[in-house]
Chain A
Amino acid sequence: METVLFILFGAIAVCGAIMVVTRKSPMASALYLILTLFAVAALFVLRQAHFLAAIQVIVYAGAVVVLFVFVIMLINVPEDRLPVERATTTRVLGVIAAGFFVLESAVLARRYWMPKGPAAEVGTVEAVGRALFTDYLLAFEITSVLLLAAVIGAIALAKRKT
C-alpha cells in the first residue's frame, strides 16, 4: 500500500514539475506547481511528517503560489509579449546537464544506504515543535529576522517612487 502511494504521488509530483518547466503561460505553470506541491505534501504524510505536510500546503500552495498568481495577474504580460524561448540546442543541453546530475545522485543514493534507524515520528507537530523551541531555538529566532528583512525588502523594492 505504502509503495503504491509513493509511486502514485511521486509520479504526480514529477509530471507536475515537468509541466511547470514546459508550459508557455506562467499561469499554467503556477497551477501545475500547486499540483506538485500537494503531491510532495502527500509524500511528507507517507513519512509521518504531518506538521510539515500541513505547512507545505499552507505556506507553499497557500501563500507562495498565491503570491506568484498575484504577480502574474498584476504585471499581466500579453501572450505575444512573452519571451521567445531559447534555441532547442540550449534546451537539450540543459536537459542533458540535469540528467547527469540526476544520474550521479542515483548512483550516490544507491551506494550510501541510510541505516534504518528507529521509525521515530520526527515530523509531527510535537516532535518538530519540541526540537524548534529547544535545540534549534536560535535558528528559529534568526528566521524571524530573515522574514522581517524579506518583508522590508519586498516593500522597498515594489513601492512606487513618489
Chain B
Amino acid sequence: MIAPSAYLLLSAILFGIGVVGVVARKNILIILMSVELMLNGVNVAFVAAGSYLGDTAGGVFAFMVMTVAAAEAAVGLALLIALYRLKETIDITELKVLKW
C-alpha cells in the first residue's frame, strides 16, 4: 500500500518540472509542452485523491483537465503557427508586440 502523500509528492515534482520549463526556456513549443506536463502532474493528484478517498469526482475532474489540455494545445499551437507566419521566430522574447 503506497501512502497517498507519495502520489501528491510525485504530482508536485511533475508540476515543478513543468514550472521550470515555462520560466527557464525560450522555445514556445517546449513551453507549451511544459504546460502539458503541469496539467498532467495535477491529474496525478486528482486520480490519487479520488481513489484514496473513494470519490469518483477525482476521476471526473482528471477527465475535465484532459479536455482542457487538449483544447489548450490546439489553440496554443494554432496561435504559434499564426505567429510564426508573421514573425518567423519561436523565441518568446521576440514576441513582445503586446507588451507596451
What residues make up the interface of B, taking CB atoms closer than 8 Å to A? 1-21, 23-27, 29-30, 32-34, 36-37, 40, 43-44, 47-60, 62-64, 66-75, 77-82, 84-85, 89-94
B37 to A20, Cβ gap below 8 A?
yes
Q: Which residues of B contact A49 (CB under 8 A)?
A: 47, 50-51, 59, 62
For chain A residues 83-139, which have a beta carbon within 8 Å of chain B?
A: 83-86, 90-91, 94-95, 97-99, 101-102, 105-106, 108-110, 113-120, 122-123, 127-128, 130-132, 135-136, 139
B54 to A119, Cβ gap below 8 A?
yes
Q: How far is the CB of A149 from chain B (nearest CB, A)?
A: 8
Q: Which residues of A contact B27 (CB under 8 A)?
A: 26, 82-83, 85
Distance A120 CA – B36 CA, assembled complex (angstroms): 28
A-B contact pairs, 5 of them (CB 8 A): A17-B17, A21-B30, A56-B43, A83-B94, A155-B78
Q: Given A36-B40, A120-B54, A158-B82, are A131 and B59 also a contact pair (CB < 8 Å)? A: yes
Q: Given A101-B15, A131-B59, are A123 and B81 also a contact pair (CB < 8 Å)? A: no
Whether a CB of chain B sits under 8 angstroms from the CB of A8 is no
Distance A160 CA – B86 CA, assembled complex (angstroms): 11
The total of interchain contacts (Cβ-Cβ below 8 angstroms) comes to 261
A10 to B30, Cβ gap below 8 A?
no
Q: Which residues of A contact B57 (CB under 8 A)?
A: 131, 136
Q: Given A6-B2, A98-B19, A122-B54, are A56 and B66 also a contact pair (CB < 8 Å)? A: yes
Distance A101 CA – B60 CA, assembled complex (angstroms): 26
Q: Which residues of A contact B12 (CB under 8 A)?
A: 101-102, 105-106, 109
- 5 other A-B residue contacts (CB within 8 Å) besides A55-B63, A113-B4, A157-B79: A26-B33, A64-B69, A102-B12, A153-B75, A154-B74
Distance A122 CA – B18 CA, assembled complex (angstroms): 27
Q: Is the interface of A mostly helix, strand, loop or mixed?
A: helix
In chain A, what residue has the closest Cβ to B92? Answer: A83
Q: Which of B18, B66, B72 contacts A55 (CB 8 A)?
A: B66
Q: Which of A6, A71, A95 contacts B80 (CB 8 A)?
A: A71
For chain A residues 58-94, which have a beta carbon within 8 Å of chain B?
A: 59-60, 63-64, 67-68, 71-72, 74-75, 77, 81-86, 90-91, 94
Q: Which residues of B contact A67 (CB under 8 A)?
A: 73-74, 77
